[in-house]
């Protein structure tokens, strides 16, 4: 199994180009099931989750081929596909559940594996299923599979989500795009990735409009047209590099990112003392010695993202005073704490709250990565620590960060993969 060896205590300097967004690509790939016309997607990140989703599309009969490089693909669907997503493909990538909506909207039936639990929590799909039920879907869960069908075409409805869910909002947007009549979804997630999905569907002929801050109106359509679409940049990757500059007291130019989609993160990092300058599609960041402390909660967009919580925690370890982070989205997302403490951090947790003491001098260690964002937080800590840190079980990292070692090496990090 691959592991990473990092020799830390080096300042990162230079330019880094942000890849396409994993979390925008996944629902857009799922939405491709709706159409029988040619779809060209550009700026997909070349990461494991995207390969798994492409494999899933292949397994149901879509023809997907790479164009020029692994960042652009062409998708073409036959008039009939298999409406089945197996456990093997959904187990590593929860977003597999996003194929449920389009399969039901187009073919009226689907058998899709439930995603099951993962290290960061139970991750239920009740909100997806109940909302699909309102469009006319009947469903049962038997032996870990959702069996769903609708006798007639899905029918538009008014649906208010009981809780903000990115995945449920996306599944319903996709399903309602091909339902009969109009659907109004309220209390929607408004993450930029949800907006990218809406733009994509509209570009291929969908009729979706934001009619309120968290409310969307969708007029179902029968057919879609050919489309060429460029996926938005990955705001979590951009945030990770901003923090990498901060923890190494480096100086980075982060390219290819629209700063508007990470305003909250930038404001918080500025409050912590970082020097950040914004240009059109570029953020310049300079790390400083004195990091201030903060009390912070993760929350749905436009709040501070749970997907950057682990990375920010590493930076807060370097502050002079105590900081706290409340994790409000997932119930078990402090898996990185034990590993960071093994490197010398002083973090205690109580329920969903972490107390970060600060003044940490990170020491190198042998570590185990637990989930995608936790893995990258260990790399950040390793970039600070003197000596060699080994991070085991890095397959989580490959799910979501394109060429991370190559990008970090270009910035001056000493990092290598050992197979
Ligand atoms: C997406 C992102 C993930 C991010 C998360 C929150 C993708 C592929 N993944 O995950 O990186 O961390 O948003 O920003 O885009 N919930 C229920 N029932 C449901 C669905 C969700 O109770 O049916 C709960 C979840 O357990 C969680 C909360 O709602 O506590 C938010 O989850 P959700 O927004 O759905 O996250 P994902 O779409 O899975």
* Full DSSP string of 155-198: B--EEE-SS--HHHHHHHHHHHTTSBSEEEEES----HHHHHHH
| Gap from CA of 176 to ligand 1 centroid (Å) | 20
Rounded CA-CA distance 411/407 in Å is 7
Q: Which two tokens mark 335?
A: 């898996």
Level-2 CATH architecture, domain 3-19+233-418: Alpha-beta prism (3.65)
Rounded CA-CA distance 111/37 in Å is 24
- pLDDT score of 239: 98
**Under CATH, which number does the domain 22-230 receive?**
3.65.10.10
Strands 282-286 vs 275-279: parallel, antiparallel or unpaired: antiparallel
Residues (pLDDT < 50) of the chain are none
Q: How many other C-beta atoms can be found within 10 angstroms of the C-beta atom of residue 202?
A: 14
Residue whose CA is at the smallest distance from ligand 1 atom 32: 165
| Gap from CA of 287 to ligand 1 centroid (Å) | 32
- pLDDT score of 395: 87
Residues of the chain with CATH 3.65.10.10: 3-19+233-418, 22-230
Enumerate residues 6+ apart whose C-beta is below 8 A from 130. Answer: none
Residue whose CA is at the smallest distance from ligand 1 atom 7: 23
- pLDDT score of 122: 63
Task: Answer yes or no: is the C-beta of 329 below 6 A from any ligand 1 atom.
Answer: yes
Atom of ligand 1 nearest to the CA of 128: 23
Q: Which two tokens mark 135?
A: 């469009």
Nearest to 146 by CA among 160, 126, 164: 126
The number of CA neighbours under 13 Å toward the Cβ of 293 is 15
- pLDDT score of 28: 98
- pLDDT score of 8: 95
- pLDDT score of 123: 73
| Gap from CA of 165 to ligand 1 centroid (Å) | 5
Task: Answer yes or no: is the C-beta of 128 below 6 A from any ligand 1 atom.
Answer: yes
CA 26 to chain centre: 9
| Gap from CA of 110 to ligand 1 centroid (Å) | 21
pTM: 0.97
Task: Measure CA of the first residue to CA of the last residue in the chain; give whole Å.
Answer: 6
Strands 282-286 vs 295-297: parallel, antiparallel or unpaired: unpaired
- pLDDT score of 117: 52
Point out the residues that are catalytic. 118
Pocket test for ligand 1, best of 329, 331, 333, 371 (most atoms within 8 A of CB): 329
Rounded CA-CA distance 194/183 in Å is 16
- pLDDT score of 93: 86
């Amino acid at each position: 199994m691959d592991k990473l060896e990092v020799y830390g205590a080096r300042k990162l300097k230079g330019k880094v180009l942000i890849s396409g967004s994993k979390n925008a690509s996944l629902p857009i790939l799922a939405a491709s099931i709706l159409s029988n016309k040619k779809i060209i997607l550009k700026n997909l990140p070349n990461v494991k989750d995207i390969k798994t989703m492409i494999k899933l599309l292949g397994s149901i009969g879509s023809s997907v081929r790479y164009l020029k490089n692994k960042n652009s693909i062409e998708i073409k669907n036959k008039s009939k596909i298999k409406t089945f997503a197996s456990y093997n493909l959904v187990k590593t990538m929860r977003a597999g559940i996003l194929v449920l909506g389009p399969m039901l909207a187009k073919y009226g039936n689907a058998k899709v594996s439930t995603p099951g639990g993962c290290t960061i929590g139970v991750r239920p799909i009740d909100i997806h299923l109940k909302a699909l039920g309102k469009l006319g879907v009947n469903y049962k869960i038997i032996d870990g599979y959702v069996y769903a069908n609708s006798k007639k075409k899905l029918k538009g409805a008014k649906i208010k989500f009981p809780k903000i869910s990115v995945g449920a909002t996306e599944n319903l947007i996709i399903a309602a795009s091909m339902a009969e009549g109009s659907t109004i979804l309220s209390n929607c997630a408004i993450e930029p990735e949800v907006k990218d999905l809406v733009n994509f569907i509209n570009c291929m002929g969908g009729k979706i409009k934001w009619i309120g801050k968290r409310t969307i109106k969708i007029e179902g359509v029968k057919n879609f047209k050919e489309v060429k679409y460029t996926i938005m940049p990955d705001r979590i990757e951009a945030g990770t590099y901003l923090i990498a500059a901060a923890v190494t007291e480096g100086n980075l130019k982060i390219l290819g990112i629209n700063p508007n989609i990470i305003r909250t993160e930038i404001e918080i990092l500025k409050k912590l003392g970082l020097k950040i300058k914004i240009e059109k599609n570029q953020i310049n960041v300079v790390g400083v010695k004195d990091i201030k402390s903060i009390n912070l909660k993760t929350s749905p967009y436009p709040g501070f993202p749970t997907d950057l919580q682990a990375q920010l925690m590493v930076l807060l370890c370097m502050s002079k005073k105590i900081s706290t982070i409340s994790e409000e989205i997932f119930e078990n997302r402090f898996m990185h704490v034990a590993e960071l403490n093994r490197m010398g951090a002083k973090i205690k947790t109580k329920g969903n709250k972490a107390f970060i003491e600060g003044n940490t001098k990170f020491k190198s260690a042998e570590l185990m990565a637990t989930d995608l964002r936790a893995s990258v937080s260990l790399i950040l800590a390793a970039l600070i620590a003197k000596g060699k840190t080994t991070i085991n079980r890095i397959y989580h990292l490959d799910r979501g960060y394109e060429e991370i070692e190559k990008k970090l090496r270009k910035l001056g990090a000493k990092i290598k993969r050992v197979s």
